[in-house]
Amino acid sequence: MTEQGLGALISGLKDRGVRHIFGIPGGDCALDIIDAAEKAGIRFVLCRTENAGGISAAVTAEITGGLGAIMTTRGPGLTSAVNAVAYAHLDRAALLLIADHFDPEMDFSSHQRIDQTAILQPLLRGAGRLDGDGFRPDLRALLDRAFGQPNGPIYLEVTNKGMTAPVRDVPSAAPPAPVRAEAAAVEAARKRLADARRPVIIVGSQTCDDGSSRAVRSLVDAWNVPVYTTYRAKGVVADSHPLTMGHYIGGVAEEAALREADLMVMIGFDAIEFPPARWRYDAPVIEVARYVVDRRVVEPEVSLIGDIAAIVEELSGQRVAADWDADALAATKRHLHAAGDSSGEGPISPQMVVDAARRHAPSNSRIALDAGAHMLPVLHHWVCDEPRQTLLSRGLATMGFALPAALGSCLVDPSRRAIAFTGDGGLMMCAGELATAVQHDCRPVTVVFNDSSLTLISAKQERRQFANKGVDFSPSNFAKVAEGYGCAGFRVEAPEELDGAFKAAFASDRPAVVDVVVNPHGYRKQLLSLRG
């Protein structure tokens, strides 16, 4: 059976859960794709930058478990999206990038001609071209490669002739059966667990799916042992659970407590979540993971690779004679919470911004965070009780992430309020997407920690005793910028203005920006207490 290339593409996208295609079209076949997609119920979301569109698309994949899609024009459109493809690669998101290119009879043209596949190749799980000679390789097989172990980006190059050329319709292969861990490894893990008296669990981002999250929660209750989550796994075990101590970040804040452990069970931990620091601990490690990572920061004594939910359920029957003291664990939790406090010199500290936002935000809000010092007080004080309630770039750690991520959340989960926490530097990289939010009826609340500085870099500069050069911005008023795009804008320069601004922002029927002038000095103490 055959069908035209355009029809095969659209049906393949629908089958993999695509509800939105993000991007900026060129002429050529992008217009065909937009028209066919809209007729099939797939909405095209016109963005202001390709990078932001790619991040929004990747985030929709993470939230829904389906495929994300970004479409660009050839040349500068594609190269502008490379950062988003790198995010999908390192942060494990199933993303399809579609870009047009020349038909064979245009070989004479050098305008915008670059080897697009070669540029993207190191980041991709697969690539193909839809042209007049048919598709190479099979289209459906390519789309499925985005869901490998781990998930990641794929690239489809399309041409005008490819829109109408026949493509052989090959049914998708049946999904593979869940892989079960080797029996010998399971037995070795059981023996270690039986001998342990102070085991801890560290939970990573591979556990964010519903099945793995449920299994991990049951395991924590069955063993009654402390659990630490990575930033990307925040909420897999509820922050409010008494056994959730806080976050594993490879810093000094959690070091004293973790050194008391005689066994570490790392569930769903991905190498991209490790900080750039050596492993600090001598206790043996049991690894439970969906896939083996490229670079191991710690070599596990026992490695259980396969379906995480099935492995965790198998281990949960093992009796663990833990002798952790409940009062000591409660004290550990209080200590880690206090270490994440960024209270400092006034008039407005970063911590005051987080506390005010929490007072007014709906309890089920989803937060998205940019890279920067502001992420620390948010992550260590915001309470998330379910997975995927926090979005951040940990593998790539790109700036300009929070607002596009919040937009993706608004579009695929409109019943849940999305909050973008960003610094002034991060918002300046994607401020045009505020107009995207207005155009597509999204209502994120964007919170700007406005200190006119690249604060993390400034802290490193200060620590190395360099002069303060090259890290400060000229002042900006993002409330006025927001109003120019059609958003509600609120400028906060005094502590007594915080509650009124956040109350109004969450009540607004438009996208809202709360631009808070903060004193960054509170970050210095926080960085030392958390990271060392």
Q: What percent of the chain has pLDDT over 90?
A: 70
- Kindly report the backbone phi and psi dihedral angles of residue 511, in degrees, each rounded to the nearest multiple of 5, phi listed first: -55, 145
Q: What percent of the chain has pLDDT over 70?
A: 94
Confidence of residue 1 (pLDDT cuts 50, 70, 90): very low
Task: Give the tokens for residue 384.
Answer: 């998330």
* Span of 241-250, 274-283, 522-531 with lowest mean pLDDT: 522-531
Is the pTM for the entire model greater than 0.75?
yes
> What integer is the mean pLDDT of 492-498?
97
Cis peptide bond N-terminal to 347, omega within 30: yes
Give yes or no for residue 2 having a pLDDT over 60. no
Which residues have CB under 8 Å from 377's CB, separation 6+?
340, 341, 342, 350, 351, 353, 354, 522, 526
Task: Give a three-class secondary structure readout of 56-121.
Answer: HHHHHHHHHCCCEEEEECCCHHHHHCHHHHHHHHHCCCCEEEEEECCCHHHCCCCCCCCCHHHHHH
How buried is residue 65: exposed, middle or buried, by Cβ count under 10 Å (0-12/13-18/19+)? middle
- The Cα 228–Cα 283 span in angstroms is 16
24-37, pLDDT tens digit by residue?
998 778 899 999 99
91-148, pLDDT tens digit by residue?
999 999 999 986 676 676 667 668 999 999 999 999 998 887 666 668 889 999 999 9
Listed residue (3, 4, 37) closest to 19, CA to CA: 37
Cis peptide bond N-terminal to 495, omega within 30: no
The answer to whether 37 and 59 are in contact (CB under 8 A) is: no
Q: What is the mean pLDDT of the chain?
A: 91
Listed residue (167, 97, 99, 184) closest to 132, CA to CA: 167
Confidence of residue 461 (pLDDT cuts 50, 70, 90): confident
The residue assigned the tokens 């379906």 is 307
33-82, pLDDT tens digit by residue?
999 999 999 999 999 999 999 999 999 999 999 999 999 999 999 999 99
User: Going from the N-terminus, what domains does the chain have, and what CATH number goes with each?
Assistant: 2-168 (3.40.50.970), 183-336 (3.40.50.1220), 340-526 (3.40.50.970)
158-207, pLDDT tens digit by residue?
988 777 777 765 666 666 666 777 889 999 999 999 999 999 999 999 99
β-strands 126-131, 134-136: how paired? Answer: antiparallel
pLDDT of 218: 96
The answer to whether 487 and 440 are in contact (CB under 8 A) is: no
Which residues are registered as beta bridge partners of 296? none
pLDDT of 531: 74
- The Cα 348–Cα 498 span in angstroms is 9
DSSP 292: -
> What integer is the mean pLDDT of 322-345?
87
DSSP 494: S
The answer to whether 96 and 61 are in contact (CB under 8 A) is: no
| CA angle 308–252–339, rounded 5-degree value | 95
Give yes or no for residue 5 having a pLDDT over 90. no
pLDDT of 508: 97
415-460, pLDDT tens digit by residue?
999 999 999 999 999 999 999 999 999 999 999 999 987 777 877 7
Task: Give the tokens for residue 383.
Answer: 């309470």
pLDDT of 137: 64
